[in-house]
Structure 1
Amino acid sequence: MKLSIETRNPSSGLKSDTKSEKFQTANLARCTYTLLMVLVFYNFQLPWIVVIGSVHLTFSIVWFLLIQFDILIEKNLWWSGYVPATFDLIWLTVLAYGTGNITSFFILGYLGSIALSSMSIDRNYGIYNAFLATVLFSTMGFFVYYDILPLINIMMTPVKPTLLSIFISSTLLGGSAFLVNQIVSKLFYSLTDVNEKLLAIAMTDPLTGISNRRSFFSNLEIEMARQHRSHSPYPIAFLLFDLDLFKTINDTYGHEIGDLVLVEFASVLKTSLRKQDFPSRWGGEEFLVLLPNTEIEGAIIVAEKIRTTFHSLTIPVKGIQIRCSTSVGISILKDQHTNPESVINLADEYLYEAKRNGRNQVYSEKNVTI
């Protein structure tokens, strides 16, 4: 059996890509909407609002670039959601002041942008949005009420607000910001949960519950990258198991019993390995195990433990007890520049020798040199 290792990782970039797409969608919406609003206020000759909008547009573009190059996401900054939410709400307050408070359709449209921009790494900015929106809008309302700011309205005839209208509009806006944020956040959580479940299905063998070949490739790439970064490169052991006479078991007792044997062997793997080890179903009755930072001596000990544990099991079949065994081939990846394909193929060759020499045994370079 020869194999070809694909140089791609089906899962390594999934969450990162999801975050990047989410952030960039929000930032693109922010940039586009702010540009349109700046043009609108420029047309109505309100220069101070245009200046504030231009500052917000500049910030939005800078934020867009920071997310584009993963500077904020990878560092997981706690303020990566609060800062854009704050800028958005300040700009929203200025929009409301110039367009008629929350009666303007501009406000309702921009609430969607707030919800998207506040969906940062943990998406817990709904309460913050509600509080800040209420404070900013009530403050702006009081400025107008006490004639600190002049009445400006490009949508309708300016009407001086009352204290009651300031309270109601600010409360409604804060509540709207919170509700929109919660709705969009729950939707995003649901989509993320579905994606993670689909990924788990794609990377797991449905019968045994351990990882499949596709998942093994992904973890092998991660482990090799970790090995390359290490100041003291460590060996990686590969243990290739094949259940002895498995076709005979299927032909004699049926595929249901064969499946039970596979499940039992996978259970032995799970209970015999360290947390950092990685077992996978390689295909059919073959299983491949990756042991990071393991020399040949240690790999042989692990393989013998798994072999003897599995062989000691008794499986009840139609009133009788059957025993099964497994053969093992071991190879070690020592050099960072060695192609792992050749190392795994070597484990396959050792596995063939174990079977040829009587099965139910471990075979490695130690057998060759003795």
Structure 2
Amino acid sequence: MSTTWEHRLVEVEVGAVAHGGHCVARHEGRVVFVRHALPGERVVVRVTEDAGGSFCRGDAVEVVTPSPDRVEPPCPFAGPGLCGGCDWQHASWPAQRALKAAVVREQLQRLAGLDREVVVEPLPGGPEDWRTRMRLAVGPDGVPGFRAHRSHRVVPVDHCVIAVPDALDGVLDRTWPPRSELAVTRDAEHRGHLVEIGPPTTRRGRRPVPGPAHLRRGSGTATEQAAGRTWEVRADGFWQVHPAAADTFAGVVREWAACRPGEHAWDLYGGAGLFASVLAGQVGATGSVAVVESSTAAVRDGRANLADLPQVSWHVGRTEAVLADPAFTGRRPAVVVLDPPRKGAGKAVVTAITDHRPARVVYVACDPAALARDIAVFADRGYALTQLRAFDAFPMTHHVECVALLEPDRLSEWSVD
């Protein structure tokens, strides 16, 4: 007989927040990961996923005893079974930041063995009207929306409370080719850009891949402002989605990198060169900055935007591959900045960095678990976490951006004079 709890209703006391936008509860000896709940609440949970192991997942569908931090979600599409984009609309904004701080602290304790107080700082503006770049899905009926949590199901919407005003005008009120995707951008000049990506196609024996982009509205080139410069970048490429994020992170990198004129620096996973521009300003004309980026489109944007900085060189390829090339690593960097994808840098990249013994490493991270795992590798290689700042660059969601400073541990056998 099956022991699955899927669709079952259980009443639980909600425990601590966990990484991923849910809290931990227990029922009949099993762990239940609960969305739409807050620590300390008593709720009724409908189990939504159960593979029969030691844990299952569910949504709080009734709040028996609410937390004082609970608020009414401002969006009618936020709730059990609805849009999966926002995790914490039912929590006050200060409570959201406290939850994220608890997650960062727990990840550092569990994965890196560090006990550290964490404060998540707000960025300018509020928890609504901030997202400048969005990816929408189109359902089989041609109606656009956002996907439900852990699902391919499209939830139609008529607005989005975290999108910057007017970003979705002319997008949500019409139909599109079924199963396509829409990349929407509102840049710093308040210009809108839209790229329609065709339905996925399947190649023999391979996973479905996105279809070609066959409609563009706007110029396709977004104008952004950060680090004292104007940037022209692909509208559907990578850029920070919060309008204040890029400049804020560049400011922290500037402070902690502290390069001196004539020094050499690395900017790994460098994108279009935001942090490279900061480093180039510090090392000056007599120094050099080597950018490593796997996206040829981002490098193309970077070369164009930083054409006035000949001290910046560009290296296209996967970071671990470029760092294994003696032609690249021949000169020791004084400072390394890295901004890896959500999975983190990993052991091979951290080892390559620490092999060259930079005086400082500035690590920009969008995932606290990946950051903590990499910090543990840095520690094994003789580098200690000396500074950490966390920012609420994604209000209403569980995502949090961290910037960490790592420096050689003077007590380590790896240390150099």
Greater length-normalized contact order (CA 8 Å, ≥ 6 residues apart): 1
- Give the structure-1-normalised TM-score: 0.24
Larger radius of gyration: 1
TM-score, normalization by structure 2? 0.22
